[in-house]
């Protein structure tokens, strides 16, 4: 029996705006994300700064608003001073247990962000670092030459003008025992309070974030101590952890995780409410992806094997694409509180771009990000849906989102059919009326639910323009698909 669903979009309630930073990115010094990913001096594909020009060009297609860097777990043993100026000091990275040459540091990161058209977002070391080291880094980046030792050092290093980094975060996952210099909730609350104060005394205009989680025991003391000095709290989510021994989840298991992000957002929003900060502090989902990376306790060969397994392209299928669409829908539906989200990572391991020595592959998730960046309006319309359950998973068969442009004349309706093999009959009502007619649309589906792109077949899953027919309100959504339909409003 064909599954059925209905979507009702209201044109009465005022649309809500959302922050474009929810289409953000994350690049970590981990595996081949920086070295051999975005930065490969000497490669024939790189420009004079050592940036892979093909990667820059591909990322520009996503109009990325913001990139978080340098970690991740990496940051908790990173000291920024090793990565600035002419004399770079290699350091042994305690998180990933490799030597980092530090040839890609603050100036390179800022220049790379400018090349792809994104705002830089710097995450500081609150594990083995100090509040003073954090505020010195802010001075190095943001104060005019002549203000002090670190601003002058930047000028000496050839950048007289401030880098003007707007987004700063205190720490990364400092609640986790895998993190170098992990903290107790009480230690964390006190360190963040002091760090935020010192950072604001250097530059009071920065947008300040810190490591939190959807957990009352960690986040409430943090908000009580430092909430009035924060703009956003950062949470992370990976819903299908890859590890050394198990194969990645099958399509239904993976897609069945699609409601996870929404419940994490709602739980975190409730914690902000409990602290009395729901109106003042937002959420940054500043690492997210369906596939997470297992942190093995094994020896080096196992670590290397785990990193390489993360690069297997066949892992990243339409399940990843549809999960990602549901993730973004959840953020946009909660645009009043979710102000940033950063797919983790941007390149290699589980990222939307797979970069290899002679080229790159746009994985399925790349196309989802491109569709959201270019096909949606800037405001979300109120809407509701009713749908059958997806057979074999505990989620509705469809997900949806409705946006409208600034002029209020173009509606973009996002429809996700999670069924791996069957079309879904979907009724659409707009402002109380059934839709009827033929509409321009873009669909991403690929030949099967398990389809993916790889080096030999980079174009197996690509978006395609279609005309969607709606007859007396009913349309048919292809199996395992993401569709964005455009409707002109009177």
Active site residue 173: yes
When the beta carbons of 51 and 175 are compared against ligand AHR, the nearer one is 175
In angstroms, rounded to a whole number, what is the distance separating the alpha carbons of residues 141 and 166?
Answer: 10
Residue number closest to ligand AHR, CB atom: 72
When the beta carbons of 195 and 289 are compared against ligand AHR, the nearer one is 289
User: Binders of ligand AHR: how many residues, by CB under 6 A?
Assistant: 10
For residue 72, the minimal CB distance to ligand AHR (Å) is 3
Backbone angles phi and psi of 484, in degrees to 5: -115, 115
Contact string 201-240 vs ligand AHR (x = CB under 6 A): ----------------------------------------
Q: Which residues in the 352-381 window bind ligand AHR by CB under 6 A?
A: none
When the beta carbons of 64 and 72 are compared against ligand AHR, the nearer one is 72
Segment contacting ligand AHR by CB under 6 A, of 4-12, 34-42, 48-56, 68-76? 68-76
Establish if 73 lies at the interface with ligand AHR (CB under 6 A). Answer: yes
In angstroms, rounded to a whole number, what is the distance separating the alpha carbons of residues 149 and 156?
Answer: 10
Catalytic residue among 173, 194, 204, 246: 173
Segment contacting ligand AHR by CB under 6 A, of 69-77, 378-386, 457-465, 478-486? 69-77
For residue 238, the minimal CB distance to ligand AHR (Å) is 7
When the beta carbons of 73 and 477 are compared against ligand AHR, the nearer one is 73
Segment contacting ligand AHR by CB under 6 A, of 6-14, 70-78, 133-141, 221-229? 70-78
Establish if 123 lies at the interface with ligand AHR (CB under 6 A). Answer: no
For residue 334, the minimal CB distance to ligand AHR (Å) is 22
Q: Which residues in the 293-312 window bind ligand AHR by CB under 6 A?
A: 293
When the beta carbons of 77 and 383 are compared against ligand AHR, the nearer one is 77
For residue 345, the minimal CB distance to ligand AHR (Å) is 6
Q: Which residues in the 9-38 window bind ligand AHR by CB under 6 A?
A: 28, 30
Binding ligand AHR (rule: CB under 6 A), the pick from 64, 65, 71, 83 is: 71
Establish if 344 lies at the interface with ligand AHR (CB under 6 A). Answer: yes
Establish if 72 lies at the interface with ligand AHR (CB under 6 A). Answer: yes
Segment contacting ligand AHR by CB under 6 A, of 66-74, 296-304, 355-363, 366-374? 66-74
When the beta carbons of 39 and 293 are compared against ligand AHR, the nearer one is 293
In angstroms, rounded to a whole number, what is the distance separating the alpha carbons of residues 22 and 328?
Answer: 8
When the beta carbons of 287 and 320 are compared against ligand AHR, the nearer one is 287
What is the three-state SS of the chain? CCEEEEEEECCCCCCEECCHHHHEEECCCCCCCCECCCECCCCCCECCCCEEHHHHHHHHCCCCCEEEECCCHHHHHCCHHHHCCCCCCCEEECCCCEEECCCCCHHHHHHHHHHHCCEEEEEECCCCCCHHHHHHHHHHHHCCCCCCHHHHHHHHCCCCCCCCCCEEEECCCCCCCCCCCCCCHHHHHHHHHHHHHHHHHHCCCCEEEEECCCCHHHHHHHHHHHHHHCCEEEEEEEEEEECCCCCCCCHHHHHCCCCHHHHHHHHHHHHHHHCCCCCCCEEEEEEEEEEEECCCCCCHHHHHHHHHHCCCHHHCCHHHHHHHHHHHHHHHHCCCCEEEEEECCCECCCCCEEEECCEEEECHHHHHHHHHHHHCCCEECCEEEEECECCCCCCECEEEEEEECCCCCEEEEEEEECCCCCCEEEEEEECCEECCEEEEEEEECCCCCCCCCCCCCCCCCCCEEEEEEEECCEEEECCCEEEEEEEECC
Binding ligand AHR (rule: CB under 6 A), the pick from 93, 264, 287, 427 is: 287
When the beta carbons of 169 and 453 are compared against ligand AHR, the nearer one is 169
When the beta carbons of 76 and 483 are compared against ligand AHR, the nearer one is 76
Q: How many residues does the chain have?
A: 490
Establish if 100 lies at the interface with ligand AHR (CB under 6 A). Answer: no
In angstroms, rounded to a whole number, what is the distance separating the alpha carbons of residues 69 and 113?
Answer: 10
For residue 452, the minimal CB distance to ligand AHR (Å) is 20
For residue 419, the minimal CB distance to ligand AHR (Å) is 31
Q: Which two tokens stand for residue 98?
A: 């490799």
Q: Which two tokens stand for residue 28?
A: 């970590």
For residue 210, the minimal CB distance to ligand AHR (Å) is 14
Binding ligand AHR (rule: CB under 6 A), the pick from 119, 136, 173, 194 is: 173
Active site residue 108: no
In angstroms, rounded to a whole number, what is the distance separating the alpha carbons of residues 247 and 242?
Answer: 7
Segment contacting ligand AHR by CB under 6 A, of 65-73, 262-270, 316-324, 413-421? 65-73
The residues annotated with a catalytic role in the active site are 173, 287
| Residues making contact with ligand AHR (CB under 6 A) | 28, 30, 71-73, 172-173, 287, 293, 344
């Amino acid at each position: 029996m064909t599954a059925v669903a209905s979507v009702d979009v209201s044109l009465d309630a005022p649309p809500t705006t959302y922050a474009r930073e929810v289409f953000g990115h994350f690049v970590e010094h981990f595996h081949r994300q920086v070295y051999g990913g975005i930065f490969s001096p000497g490669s024939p594909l790189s420009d004079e700064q050592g940036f892979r020009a093909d990667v820059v060009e591909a990322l520009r297609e996503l109009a990325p608003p913001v990139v978080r860097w340098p970690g991740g777990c990496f940051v908790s043993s990173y000291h920024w001073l090793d990565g600035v100026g002419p004399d770079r000091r290699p350091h042994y990275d305690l998180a990933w247990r490799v030597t980092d040459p530090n040839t890609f540091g603050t100036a390179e990161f800022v220049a790379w962000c400018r090349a792809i058209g994104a705002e830089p977002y710097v995450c500081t070391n609150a594990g083995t670092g100090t509040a003073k080291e954090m505020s010195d880094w802010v001075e190095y980046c943001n104060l005019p030459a002549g203000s002090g030792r670190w601003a002058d050092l930047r000028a000496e290093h050839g950048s007289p003008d401030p880098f003007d980094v707007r987004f700063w975060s205190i720490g990364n996952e400092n609640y986790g025992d895998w993190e170098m210099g992990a903290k107790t909730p009480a230690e964390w609350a006190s360190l963040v309070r002091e760090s935020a104060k010192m950072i604001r005394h250097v530059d009071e205009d920065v947008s300040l974030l810190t490591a939190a989680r959807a957990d009352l025991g960690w986040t409430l003391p943090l908000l009580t101590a430092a909430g009035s000095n924060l703009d956003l709290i950062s949470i992370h989510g990976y819903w299908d952890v890859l590890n050394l021994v198990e194969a990645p989840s099958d399509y239904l298991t993976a897609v069945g995780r699609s409601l996870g992000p929404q419940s994490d957002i709602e739980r975190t929003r409730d914690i902000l409410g409990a602290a009395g900060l729901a109106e003042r502090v937002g959420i940054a989902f500043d690492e997210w992806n369906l596939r997470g990376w297992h942190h093995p306790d094994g020896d080096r060969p196992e670590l290397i094997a785990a990193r390489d397994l993360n690069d297997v392209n066949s892992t990243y299928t339409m399940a990843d694409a549809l999960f990602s669409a549901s993730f973004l829908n959840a953020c946009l539906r909660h645009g009043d509180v979710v102000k940033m989200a950063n797919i983790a990572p941007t390149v290699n391991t589980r990222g939307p771009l797979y970069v290899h020595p002679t080229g790159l592959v746009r994985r399925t998730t790349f196309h989802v990000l491109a569709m959201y960046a270019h096909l949606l309006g800037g405001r979300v319309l109120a809407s509701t849906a009713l749908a059958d359950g997806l057979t074999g998973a505990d989620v509705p068969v469809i997900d949806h989102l409705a946006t409208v442009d600034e002029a209020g004349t173009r509606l973009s309706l996002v429809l996700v059919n999670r069924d791996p093999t069957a079309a879904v009959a979907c009724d659409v009502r707009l402002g109380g009326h059934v839709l009827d007619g033929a509409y321009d649309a873009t669909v991403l589906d690929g030949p099967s639910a398990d389809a993916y792109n790889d080096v030999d077949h980079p174009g197996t899953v690509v978006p395609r323009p279609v005309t969607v027919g709606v007859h007396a309100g009913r349309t048919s959504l292809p199996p395992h698909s993401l569709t964005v339909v455009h409707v002109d409003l009177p």
